[in-house]
Chains A and B, each alone.
Chain A
Amino acid sequence: DQQVKQNSPSLSVQEGRISILNCDYTNSMFDYFLWYKKYPAEGPTFLISISSIKDKNEDGRFTVFLNKSAKHLSLHIVPSQPGDSAVYFCAADSSGGSNYKLTFGKGTLLTVNP
Chain B
Amino acid sequence: SQTIHQWPATLVQPVGSPLSLECTVEGTSNPNLYWYRQAAGRGLQLLFYSVGIGQISSEVPQNLSASRPQDRQFILSSKKLLLSDSGFYLCAWSRRSAGDTPLHFGNGTRLTVT
Contact = CB atoms under 8 A, between A and B. Distances in A.
Nearest to B102: A46
Given A36-B105, A46-B102, A100-B92, 4 more contacts: A34-B102, A99-B32, A100-B103, A104-B43
Interface size class of A (residues with CB under 8 A): 20 to 34
Interface string A8-40: 000000000000000000000000001010000
A4 B106 CA distance: 22
3 nearest interchain CB pairs?
A43-B105, A98-B98, A104-B44
B46 A101 contact: yes
B32 A42 contact: no
22 contacts: A2-B43, A4-B43, A34-B102, A41-B110, A43-B105, A43-B107, A44-B44, A46-B102, A46-B103, A97-B99, A98-B101, A100-B32, A100-B94, A100-B101, A100-B102, A101-B34, A101-B46, A101-B49, A103-B46, A104-B43, A104-B44, A106-B43
Interface string A74-114: 00000000000000010100001111111111110000000
Nearest to B91: A43
Chain A at the B interface: mostly helix, strand, loop or mixed?
loop
Interface of A: 2, 4, 6, 34, 36, 41-46, 49, 89, 91, 96-107
A29 to B, nearest CB: 16
Contacts of A96: 98
